[in-house]
Structure 1
Amino acid sequence: MVSVRGLPILAAILGVASVMPVFSHAEGASAPLAAHQQVSLPRVLVLATGGTISGKADTRSAIGYDAGAVTGEQLIAGVPGVEKLAQLQVEQISNIASQNMNSQVWFKLAERIRRAFAHNEADAVVITHGTDTMEETAFFLDNVIADARPVILTGAMRPSTAISADGPANMYEAVKVAADPQARGRGVMVVLNDEVQSARGVSKMHTTALQTFHSPNLGPVGYVDPASVRFMTPAKPQQHLALPADHKLPRVQIVYAHADMDAQQIDDAVKGGARGIVVAGMGDGNVSTDALAGIERATKAGVVVVRSTRVGNGFVNRDVEVDDDHYGLVASMDLNPQKARILLQLLLANGKTTAAEIQKAFSAGF
């Protein structure tokens, strides 16, 4: 348990007279709940990374704001009743806008979660995160955290100072899902706006709407409100990959397909040292004849090429309009380009280099 510092700052931000701590130091401070009640509550480690949920308004426009202006402790202090759900420990991993999210923060998160579970510090983890890259962080962690205990990501579409800010409700529901025994064995999940989404399925689908997160191919795995958590699908086995010891991921480029496409971006990626290329293809992962010739040059040079799609829904199937077997390509199945890039990076880092073994990993579960 930790103390909440900086409460006058949060009070000033929120425009209220005072903000009461929702939890206290374990050593000597008076607990908000009876001792026997606190012992029975699950222990949830909250790892804050910044994002809109930790933002405050800026005057540059009607909806302008600065991400990462509020700490994780201040954020938790503004969520009424969350102390009744779990014993909370808050740590600040970073405080950045999610467009600046990077693999080094991913490694910090993964190692802190692994350590917390290995040392039995927590029964679950909640990560506060910006929405722009939340699906990528969730998917990365889902592939490297081999533990049944829940890891939940949450965030907000409106900053903490906005009218009808959605952060407090999302935070409350994320902790509620994390503390629920049904959440075990389901991998990393994303909780926003009363829905629970899988890391593999979820995507940000709208620039500004509160209901921005959807799982277009898989659907939500559950629903949550202040009274209940309901899962719609059973837990199923997850594949996990080793975390690279050197904290480095191979260079994988995303190339976006379009009308009148040539092979220049593909050739440039190969010259730039890419070990993999993900093509955000048209339709079912299709590219022009010129681009396909560039892809063939790339695969002959030892670069792994994955066909994904720029379309928001649907699977990329093998050997439909493109002869994947002939060109040695990988079909991304349900994974969008940004997730296909992460999986390919992790597979390459784990020594998986042939199209056949990489396709097996992409097709796992289907």
Structure 2
Amino acid sequence: MGVLGLGGTIAMGPVADHEGVAPHLTAAALVAAVPGLDEIADVAAESVRMLPGASLGFADVVALVETARARVDAGARGIVVTQGTDSLEETAYAFDLLWDRPEPLVVTGAMRPASAAGADGPANLLAAVAVAVAPDARQRGCLVVFAGQIFSASDVVKAHSTSPSAFRSPNTGPLGSVDEAVPRFTTPPGERLPPLEPSGGEPPSVALVTALLGDSGRQLEAIADAGFQGLVLAAMGAGHVPALLVGPLADAVTRMPVVATTRTGSGRLLHETYGFPGSERDLHRIGLLDGGALAPVKARVLLTLALWSEPDRAGAESRFRLHASAV
């Protein structure tokens, strides 16, 4: 099986001419530091990038998926990706939308640098490899393994800035756990949708704006005039915005796809409960796409990849609806 490294805290330690830690450990070095890993799988490691999680982009995601496909096509039973946690909830969902093989693609990382006392990277990597070679992990797309738990890429979020158990799945809960390098799933695999296929070139620019107390709509107006190709709105509660935002949102919909999802961290938008100006009825009436249970950052990932994969707005919106409705 393959371990593909992108950098991140799991690969960090002191580096000459740096204050603090930075990525420098190769994927091969990470694998070599995990006791008992060779008893689980024959691992071939490769460093694809050496970046902090915050500096990864969509081009890095696509390159990783291409490398992972090549590894699987050459006979790998599964793939583990090690990366920084700052963007892990976004990249994992992007991997899931692009991954088109039955073999597992498992993402993990660490909250403590490799040089820190109590570094959590080796245990996370051991558990991730165990999941990647497990028959029960097949046909599940991209999974996230962290602190002994297995998460769906579409629902996992980073819920704490520093805790070793920072990752949560607020809508569905974990899919399973890993004890003594043995994965145990509590749910069967779900239906896999056709993958998105970016067309090449630069990814489209999609903005994310949060509805806020006393919001006048000026930020939305500026975004609509700034050349973005899509917009995600993190709405209040079950799909509410200050009344002054309805006009700028309606104008934005005439220019680009606009998605609404909740800023609360879990749950979905309502459709017809409230009727005041700025309620969910207004958002649906003016044509915002429903982001389902996706967190705002994940809705932005989906809209970006849908726009990148389809030649016209109607096709992109159709693909967005299809994938958002499955979450």
- The aligned residue for residue 84 of structure 1 is 39
List alignment gaps of at least 5 residues for structure 2.
274-278
CA spacing shift, 1:106–1:227, aligned 2, 3 Å: closer
Residue number in structure 2 paired with 1:50? 7
- Residue 318, structure 1, aligned to residue 275, structure 2: no
d(CA) in 2 for partners of 1:362, 1:123: 26
Secondary structure of 2:325's aligned partner: coil
1:353 maps to which of 313, 316, 321: 313
Which position in structure 1 is the counterpart of 2:71? Answer: 116
Letter in 2 for 1:56: G
- Of 237, 256, 259, 2:191 maps to 237
Match of 1:209 in 2: 163
* Equivalent residue number for residue 122 of structure 2: 168
How do 1:1-366 residues align onto structure 2 when only pairs under 5 Å count? 44-56=1-13, 65-117=20-72, 119-301=73-255, 303-320=256-273, 321-323=279-281, 324-351=283-310, 353-354=313-314, 357=318, 360-365=321-326
The superposition leaves residues 261-285 of structure 1 with CA deviations (integer Å, 9 ceiling, x where unpaired) of 0222211222111121101111123
CA contact (8 A) 1:65 1:159 kept: no
Q: Alpha-carbon deviation of 1:65?
A: 4.1
Letter in 2 for 1:360: R
SS of the counterpart of 2:43?
A: strand
RMSD: 1.9
Provide closer, same or farther for how the CA distance between residues 178 and 65 of structure 1 changes in structure 2, counting only shifts above 3 A. Answer: farther
Identity %: 34
Match of 1:16 in 2: none
Cα deviation for residue 358 of structure 1 reads: 5.1
Q: Distance in 1 between matches of 2:215 and 2:156?
A: 29
**Distance (whole Å) between structure 2 residues aligned to residue 319 and residue 116 of structure 1:** 48
Describe the shift of the 1:226–1:74 C-alpha distance in structure 2 as closer, same or farther (beyond 3 A): same
- Given that 1:204 and 1:213 are in contact with CA atoms closer than 8 Å, whether structure 2 keeps it comes out as yes
What is the count of residue pairs matched by the alignment?
317
Whole-angstrom distance in 2 between the partners of 1:359 and 1:181: 30
Change (3 A) 1:238 1:88: same
> Which stretch of the first structure deviates more once superposed, 285-294 or 155-164?
285-294
Q: Is the 8 A contact 1:279 1:285 kept in 2?
A: no
Structure whose CA Rg is larger: 1
TM-score by length of 1: 0.82
Q: Which runs of 4+ in 1 moved over 6 A?
A: none
Q: Deviations over 1:296-355 (max 9, x none)?
A: 011123x11111222112122334432244201112111011100011112222326249
Counterpart Cα distance in 1 of 2:105 and 2:237: 33
Inter-partner Cα distance in structure 1 for 2:124 and 2:201: 31
CA distance in 2, matches of 1:89, 1:258: 48
CA distance, structure 2, for counterparts of residue 91 and residue 110 of structure 1: 13
Q: 1:170 to 1:227 in 2, by over 3 A?
A: closer
Structure 1 residues 58, 91: CA separation in 2 closer, same or farther (over 3 Å shift)? closer
Q: State the 1:247 CA deviation.
A: 4.2
Does the 8 Å CA contact 1:97/1:130 hold for their aligned counterparts? yes
CA contact (8 A) 2:261 2:299 kept: yes
Taking a change above 3 Å as real, the CA distance of residues 291 and 248 of structure 1, as seen in their structure-2 partners, is same
